[in-house]
Structure 1
């Protein structure tokens, strides 16, 4: 059980990828039943600005489960169609601004401390520098909004989408630096870094003071630790030794009969 874990840092369950056989609204309760006191979600709505009733149903599902919503993604666009965020799309600045207000409003109700902004894919016919400038402005805006409730905005490298420009920790940190803001931080996703050929251990060592959140999955396969080749426990201990004291997100696809059994192994 997660409460028996020997790992040095508290955990959170990513309910957008864990408990895949359950409707989304039932997953916070399933996480609580599995021993977690915190959950996180990718953007859980079909639109960037859902109606009040839809928001209330989501908030109720989390609060009734008795867990904290430790992390929430901003809108990512149509992920099934390959989109990975709208942060860097000049045509969608208004949509992103409106989504930030909604997301931070949800976070204020549920104790959220991190909001992940996916960067967005490169757009044909548009100067990448123009996209980077818009992304910097939007990310700074998100950081200011998150800071109002004692939270931070996050940015992560992502694998599997060739048009997504942030592949390494260095890519993400360069984007953070363009904001000129201290209210935005690196989301260190061990799986994405490893799949992209970056060295998670070296990223921890180099960017320890920039890390705002950590997510784990094994590689290859994106399953639970022990199903691939990554030294997950050693990397968690490394980030702890480097000074990180936040939660570790279990953001993996369950591939064994006991997806949390590795915690007591």
Structure 2
């Protein structure tokens, strides 16, 4: 049976972040994830999780200017001091929140001639992250983001995800597999999950196109959820979509699962 987590950065945005924990629990979720939780103190989040009997399963290492069109932190050779500061902040939050996984966003390279250097920097930082989080019992994951929505992203296909994981050969570094982004790249998520479930540390989903809730786009969600269920994947499946309308009216997709 699939276990769904609610991404509080995209769901329940009708209310402030601090009130989304209660909204998620009222909707029936037992777990949540947050892209960047740093606007709230870690202790405040801990209290909300305990109050509503929720588990925080995932959050991201701070990514600098990535969401504003910049290159981010994790892959940029000139930003390594800033990445280490971001990593230290994430470690502090993880010590309080104990997530199942921490996500490192690879970032963009806006100068293609420097791509090899950016990839090498990211791989070093991915290993550094895993070294920091393994003693906490937190697995490190990294994801591909489609290059249509985010041009220049250094890892934009599942093949590139696998290549990095193959090179590093570390059991504590897993894939974060985002169904929306791979659909956007024209890939077959059901086939990938069926073949590589053992390499995936976290799954997220949204429909494509539009990144709305399942049923708002063109994907076959009965087939996708069935593929995850049959694959043997035992982690959380994160609802990371932009609701079309009120969040509370967007959960018809549960009928597909």
TM over 0.5: yes
Q: 5 Å matches for 1:127-146? A: 127-146=114-133
Whole-angstrom CA distance in 1 between matches of 2:99 and 2:34: 11
Q: Which runs of 5+ in 2 are unaligned?
A: none
Partner deviation per Cα, 1:44-79 (whole Å, 9 max, x = no partner): 336xxxxxx834334334343331111111112124
Aligned pair 1:36/2:25, yes or no? no
2:250 aligns with one of 245, 256, 259: 259
Whole-angstrom CA distance in 2 between matches of 1:140 and 1:195: 28
Partner deviation per Cα, 1:130-172 (whole Å, 9 max, x = no partner): 1111111110111122221222111111121111021111111
Q: Are 2:207 and 2:215, in contact at CA under 8 Å, matched by a contact in 1?
A: yes
Q: Which residue matches 1:73?
A: 60
> Could you tell me how far 1:84 is from its partner in structure 2?
6.1
Q: 5 Å matches for 1:39-188? A: 39-45=32-38, 54-83=41-70, 85-124=72-111, 127-159=114-146, 160-188=149-177
Q: Which runs of 5+ in 1 are unaligned?
A: 1-7, 47-52
- Shift in CA distance, 194/121, structure 1 to aligned 2, threshold 3 Å: same
- Shift in CA distance, 191/239, structure 1 to aligned 2, threshold 3 Å: same
Whole-angstrom CA distance in 2 between matches of 1:96 and 1:64: 32
Q: 5 Å matches for 1:208-219? A: 208-219=197-208
- Shift in CA distance, 239/264, structure 1 to aligned 2, threshold 3 Å: closer
User: SS of 2:41's equivalent?
Assistant: helix
Q: Which residue matches 1:228?
A: 217
Deviates more, 1:169-178 or 1:60-69: 60-69
Whole-angstrom CA distance in 2 between matches of 1:201 and 1:210: 14
- TM (normalized to structure 1)? 0.87
> Could you tell me how far 1:98 is from its partner in structure 2?
2.7
User: SS of 2:171's equivalent?
Assistant: coil
Deviates more, 1:159-168 or 1:188-197: 159-168
Whole-angstrom CA distance in 1 between matches of 2:233 and 2:142: 16
> Could you tell me how far 1:80 is from its partner in structure 2?
4.2
2:10 aligns with one of 17, 20, 42: 17
Q: Are 2:115 and 2:154, in contact at CA under 8 Å, matched by a contact in 1?
A: no
> Could you tell me how far 1:30 is from its partner in structure 2?
1.2
Whole-angstrom CA distance in 1 between matches of 2:87 and 2:154: 22
